[in-house]
Amino acid sequence: MAIKETYWKYSLLVIIFVLGCVIFYELRPFLGGILGAMTVYVLVRGQMFYLTEQKKMKRGLAASLLLVETILCFLIPLFLVIWLLLSKIEEVNLDPHSIMQPIQRVFDYVRQQFGYDMLSADNLSSVISFVPKLGQYIMNGLANFVISVFVLLFVLFFMLKGGHEMENYIASLLPFSRRNKQSLLHEFYMVVKANAIGVPLLALIQGLVAMAGYYLFGAPSPVLLGFLSAFASIIPIIGVGLIWIPLALYLGISGSWGSAIGLAVYALVLVSNSDNLIRFMLQKRLADTHPLITIFGVFIGLSLFGFMGIIFGPLILSIFTLCVKIFKKEYLDTE
């Protein structure tokens, strides 16, 4: 009888594992919306409990109100930022001659110094073939974003209705003691909240600081470049350098070496240092996360989950280190 029960037990585990892998694989297109729903749930769960437990509001009504709050406070501002960015791109009046002249200088320099022709037929054909792929990538990205928004709202509604029952059910499945479960869930809430609040705040500050430098040193389209710098700030270590380094090179090649050097010094002293300082201060204050977990977690998360990996990449590393601590304390420490 014991052998049969053991067979049933492990067979059931294999079935659960295989079906879980299949379900996860098929849900990959909706993973961004699901992770977004988890993020928003962590931010508004306190309001949900207040409405249902203190104000005695029905769960369905309270969840609907919080969905409206999510749309007004999270999604509409995000759509406005994207719309403003697109409008700034449309307003940019690019002079092809002024753009191609410094680029042509770079091509000539490379050909003279290294004997490599960057304007060869093969290179031009590669660039031309890349243009339609870029347009297709952008359209697919917009479509996936819209789908993720609908998935976010749909999943968030049922997560809010589940409330404590959902959290208790998930906690009951964790293979830890009661104290360790509380530590793990606390780590989950704190890391998600820290990144959900810290990343947008960091992007706003970084974009404004960089935009001031672009205005100061006469960069073209400083508002647009400020927007791009804000988005680039989510990448650790290099961050806004993705924008100001090519811009400084462009200014130098265009003949404005004073502005190029000034922008480089400004970015190295103010932008880069403020990036590291603000990022680590926010993480330390909100979740007490080690800087290495934040840095490597973002790189891991971006490759696994896309944009939402900014939040859940550090979370994976934080939970991993916490599980190692729990294992060491429970099974390795003799005292």
Whether 334 is covered by a domain: the verdict is yes
Report the distance separating Cα 68 and Cα 52, nearest Å.
16
Is residue 161 located within the same domain as residue 197?
A: no
Residue 131 lies in a domain: no
Planar angle of CA 226, 232, 237, nearest 5 degrees: 125
CB-based contacts of 131: which residues, under 8 Å, 6+ apart?
Answer: none
Could you tell me if residue 273 is inside a domain?
Answer: yes
For residue 126, being part of any structural domain is answered with: no
Are residues 323 and 281 both part of a single domain?
Answer: yes
CB 291 within 8 A of CB 194: no
Q: pLDDT tens for the chain, 335 residues: list them.
A: 578 788 888 888 899 999 989 988 888 888 878 888 888 888 888 889 988 888 888 888 988 999 998 888 877 877 777 777 666 665 555 555 555 555 666 666 666 666 666 555 555 555 555 556 655 666 666 677 778 888 888 999 999 988 888 888 888 887 777 887 787 787 778 777 777 777 777 788 888 888 888 888 888 778 888 888 888 877 766 778 888 888 888 787 777 788 888 888 888 888 777 766 666 666 566 656 666 676 777 777 777 776 667 767 777 777 787 778 777 777 776 65
Clarify whether residues 207 and 224 are in a common domain.
yes
Domain that holds residue 23: 1-77+144-173
Q: Which residues contact 36 (CB under 8 A, 6 or more apart)?
A: 148, 151, 152, 308
pLDDT of residue 19: 92
Which residue's structure tokens are 């410094």? 102
Do residues 290 and 195 both lie within one domain? Answer: yes
Q: Are residues 285 and 165 in the same domain?
A: no
One domain for residues 248 and 298: yes
Residue 325 and residue 227 in one domain: yes
Asked if residue 99 lies in contact with residue 107, where contact means CB atoms within 8 angstroms, the answer is: no
pLDDT reported for residue 136: 65
Q: How many domains does the chain have?
A: 2
Question: Is residue 48 domain-shared with residue 189, that is, in the same domain?
Answer: no
The verdict on residue 11 lying in a domain is: yes
pLDDT at 133: 62
Q: Which helix (H) or strand (E) holds 280?
A: helix 272-286
Cβ-count burial 285-309 (b if 16+ within 10 Å, e if not): ebbebbeebbbebbebbbeebebbb
Q: Would you say residue 70 lies in a domain?
A: yes
Among 135, 158, 173, the domain boundary falls at 173
Domain-located, residue 301: yes
Please tell me the distance from the alpha carbon of residue 90 to that of residue 99, in angstroms, as a whole number. 17
* Pair 311, 326 in one domain: yes
How many CB atoms neighbour CB 111 within 10 A? 14
Same domain, 190 and 287: yes
Residues 6+ apart with CB under 8 A from 236: 279, 294, 295, 298, 299
Is there a domain that residue 127 lies in? Answer: no
Q: 161 and 180 share a domain?
A: no
- Say what the pLDDT of residue 158 is: 92
- 233 and 283 inside one domain: yes
Query: What distance in Å separates the CA atoms of residue 119 and residue 308, rounded to the nearest whole number?
Result: 38
